[in-house]
Amino acid sequence: MSSHKLLIKSLELASKNHAQQKRKSDGSPYINHLIEVTALLTDIAEIDDADELSAAILHDILEDTDVTRDELYKTCGNRVLELVEALSDDKFLSLEERRKETLRVLPNKPTAVKRIKLADLCSNASAIPSAWSIDRQREYFQWLDQVAEICKESSLELHNEYLRRRAVHITE
């Protein structure tokens, strides 16, 4: 499949299955987050690998929608499936357990997974819900900082973007 076709199929799958989801921070369509993560990879990390960009578009599809691994494989192929699986949390675990598991397994993940995760952190660092208490924000950023440090080697440019966004949020 051509790279253009793969990206369009990924956007189509994401927009269809995340259609009713909204960002917690501002109620905007969730697809905006997926596009932002992908744009960060192209614009800042200068990634043009269609599989990696498709995985960025679809990074939450397995954990946040009813799309199955089989459907993802049939639509986008094995490499995209593997990257998305590597980025997906086990929703049967508590939030605390998922965070610990991420910190445990992330160091051994492929560079592409770390880069997508870092782009995801950049987007999330700019989208903190206004209703969150200072303590909740502080705790969240402590975890984000740990993840960003693990992913730093995958793209220093994205890591610097994360630090810039974090600093903007902290000073607000």
Whole-angstrom distance, CA of residue 76 vs CA of residue 73: 5
Distances (CA, A) of 51 to 36, 54, 63, 134: 17, 5, 19, 38
Would you call 63 a catalytic residue per the annotation? Answer: yes
In the set 43, 46, 48, 63, the catalytic residue is 63
Picking from 49, 159, 42, 146, the residue whose alpha carbon sits closest to that of residue 103 is 146
Residue with tokens 């965070």: 99
* Phi, psi (rounded to 5 degrees) for 103: -65, -30
Picking from 118, 119, 120, the residue whose alpha carbon sits closest to that of residue 151 is 118
In the set 43, 48, 52, 64, the catalytic residue is 64
* In contact, 112 and 50? CB cutoff 8 Å: no
Query: What are the catalytic residues?
Result: 63-64
